[in-house]
Amino acid sequence: MAIWGSSFVVTTLVLDEAGPFAVTLLRFALGLLFLLPFAYRRGFRLRLALRPAFLLFGFTGVALVYGLQTLALVFTSAANIALISAGVPVVAVLARAFLKEAIPPARLFGIGLSVLGVGLVSGATPPGADFSGTVLLGNVLMVGAVVAYGAYAVQGRALRGGEGYPAVVATAASFAAGLLFLLPPTAVEVVLLGAPDLGAQGWIVLAYVGAGASALPIFLWNYALRHVPASAAALYINLVPVVGLVSALLVGERVGAAQLVGGALAVAGVLLGEAVSPKGRVRTS
C-alpha cells in the first residue's frame, strides 16, 4: 500500500515528457517484463491474454483503471487522486452483488464513511487553484477509475476461484491484455502530441511505477484476494490515500479542509471495517 500510494506523485514527474496513455502503456510493459520470469514458470503463455476472461480483466484493471488515473493527473492534483482512491470500497458492493459475500453492518457503515469522504474530496478544489472544470474533470476521471477497479477486483477473485489460475499468472495475463487496449489511444496520442521524449529521470520513474508500483503490489493484491473477502480487502486499500496525501504534501502540494476531512473519513472506514471479524462481531483484542 505504501508503494502504491506514492505512485500518484511519482507519476506526475514524467507527464511533462510523455502523454498519459504513453506513460500508462510503458508502465505496464515494464511491469510485464518484470513478471514474465515468475509467471512463465507457473504456466503463463502470451495466448492467455486473448482469452475473454483475461481481456475483460486487462480492460478493466489496466486500461481503464490506470489509463483514467494517469489522465486524471493531467487535470487535478496528486492529493485529490490519492484521496479519491479511497472510493475502492465500491468493491464491497460489487462483491455482494456478484460473489454473494455477506457484509456485516459495521463494515458496511465503514464503507459508507469512505464513500462520503470521496464525495467531499471530489467536489473540492485544491487551495490556491482557480475553480474550473478541469479540476472537476480530473476528479470525475478518477472516480471512473475507482469504479473500474471495483469491477477488476471482483472479477479477479471470481476468476481465480473458478478457474484456478495462480495470482502471478492472472496478473501477467491482465497486464498483457491491458496493453492491447492501451495501444490504440496511445497511437492517437502520439499522432496528436508527438512521441515521448524521456530522459534518464523519466525512465527511472517508469521503472519504479512499472515494477515497484504496478507489478509487485498488483500481484500481492491479487494473491491477497485468494485468502480474504473482496469487501475486506477493499478496506485495506484505503490506506493508499494516507500515503498518497503525505507524498503530495512532501512535494509541496496544498490540501484544503474538505480534502482532509474526506481523507479522515476514509481512514475511519478502514479502522471500523478492520475491527469487524469475518462473522460480523467487533474484535476486542
What tens digit of pLDDT does each residue of 217-260 get?
777 766 766 666 655 665 566 666 667 667 677 766 766 777 67
- Give the distance, in angstroms, between the CA of residue 200 and the centroid of all CA atoms in the same chain: 26
Residue 110 predicted with pLDDT over 50:
yes
**Overall domain count for the chain:** 1
Quick: pLDDT tens for 128-153. Answer: 555 557 888 888 899 888 888 877 76
pTM for the whole structure: 0.77
> How far apart (Å, rounded) are the C-alpha atoms in residues 177 and 49?
5
pLDDT-derived band at 162 (thresholds 50, 70, 90) equals very low
Q: 171 lies in which domain range?
A: 2-274
Rank 35-39, 156-160, 257-261 by mean pLDDT and report only the highest.
Answer: 35-39
Closest by CA position to 15, among listed 59, 100, 77: 77
Strand partners, 276: 282
226 secondary structure, DSSP code: T
Residue 137 falls inside a structural domain: yes
* pLDDT for the residue 285: 45
Quick: pLDDT tens for 201-218. Answer: 999 999 999 988 888 877
- What's the CA dihedral at 57, 59, 62, 64 to 10 degrees? -130
> What residues have CB less than 8 Å from 191, skipping those under 6 apart?
none
Residue 163 predicted with pLDDT over 80:
no
Residue 283 falls inside a structural domain: no
> What residues have CB less than 8 Å from 195, skipping those under 6 apart?
22
Name the percent of the chain lying above pLDDT 90: 30
Residue 284 falls inside a structural domain: no
